[in-house]
Amino acid sequence: MGIFPLSCALVTVLHILLYAKGPRGGQFASCQHGEKSEVFVFSGIVEEVGRITEITQTKDGCRLTIGAKKVVNPVNLGDSISVDGICLTVVSFDAQSFSVEAVLETMRRTKLGDKKVGDHVNLERAVTLSDRLGGHLVTGHIDAVATVTQIEDDGFSKVITFELPGELAPYFVPKGSVAIDGVSLTVVDCPVPRGEDKLHFSVALIPHTLDATTFKSLKPGLKVNIETDVIARYVARWLEPHLDEKLKKVAAKISSGASNG
């Protein structure tokens, strides 16, 4: 029984890679391009930090214009870009910026609704089959919004602790992967919560990561977008028939949230 989930996980990786498309712009699962849906993945390696220059709110969601240089060279209408870990579709662009639209569901499930003009965001185009996967497989679907609870100096690095709903605990293991605001990071510690307690997990950030992302402005109380490891979600689904009823409900809820986020 232990070999089956591992073999399935490897097949899933191959499936994702075979269907990953570029040029570095999209997500795995369903990033809507008008009436069609395409399959993309990110790696969690931020290409640049962009700045929001305009936000237009509507009854159906919002439209954001983001100043950028690298991710618009090249870019095409309908491409998707990870904005703080959220896969969003490019609806217009020029040499120095691009615009995306976010539906109400996206704003409810992420911290996007809290963004203001002037705020900075992490940006990444999707990987292609010829790219090096420097981080891990990131879909651009947000599972939850976490809160920064503590920042500590640890040598030249900073250890940052986050708080999440306890139901996400099955998807976190020490030395496992997590995407925070679209950045691929390694979990340092994640004690298993008791009962209804919240999950607390930590990551260590080196100076380069702080300088190359929006993390240099993090402080306790701020919110971040969290995407758990997609392989962990698949393994949980395959193991679901063997879990007790409580864990089945947690796995089903997380899987449903990942598919709709």
Q: Which of 38-47, 57-66, 188-197, 204-213 has the lowest mean pLDDT?
A: 38-47
Q: Is residue 1 part of a domain?
A: no
Q: Do 160 and 120 reside in the same domain of the chain?
A: no
Q: How far lies 206's CA from each of 136, 152, 161, 189, 203, in Å?
A: 18, 12, 15, 16, 10
Domain boundary among 94, 125, 156: 125
**Phi, psi for 41 (deg, rounded to 5):** -140, 155
Q: Do 156 and 252 reside in the same domain of the chain?
A: yes
The CA-based angle 208-215-66, given to 5 degrees, is 105
Q: Do 150 and 96 reside in the same domain of the chain?
A: no
Confidence of residue 163 (pLDDT cuts 50, 70, 90): very high
pLDDT in tens, 89-107: 999 999 999 999 999 999 9
Domain boundary among 59, 91, 125: 125
Q: Is residue 4 part of a domain?
A: no
Q: Do 181 and 214 reside in the same domain of the chain?
A: yes
What's 179's DSSP letter? Answer: E
Q: Do 163 and 255 reside in the same domain of the chain?
A: yes
The contacts found for 187-192 with CB under 8 angstroms, 24 or more apart, are 188/159
Q: Do 52 and 115 reside in the same domain of the chain?
A: yes
Distance CA 146, CA 149 (A): 9
Q: Where in the sequence is the domain holding 232, given as residue range(s)?
A: 144-260
End-to-end CA distance of the chain: 31
Identify which has the larger pLDDT, 211 or 129. 211
The domain that holds 209 is classified in CATH as 2.40.30.20
Q: Which of 27-36, 62-71, 203-212, 221-230 has the lowest mean pLDDT?
A: 27-36
pLDDT in tens, 210-231: 999 999 999 999 999 999 998 8
Q: How many domains, the chain?
A: 2
Distance CA 75, CA 205 (A): 30
What is the largest distance, in Å, between two alpha-carbon atoms of the chain? 54
Mean pLDDT along residues 27-32 = 40
pLDDT of residue 246: 62
Q: Do 67 and 162 reside in the same domain of the chain?
A: no
Q: Do 106 and 163 reside in the same domain of the chain?
A: no
pTM of the complete model = 0.80
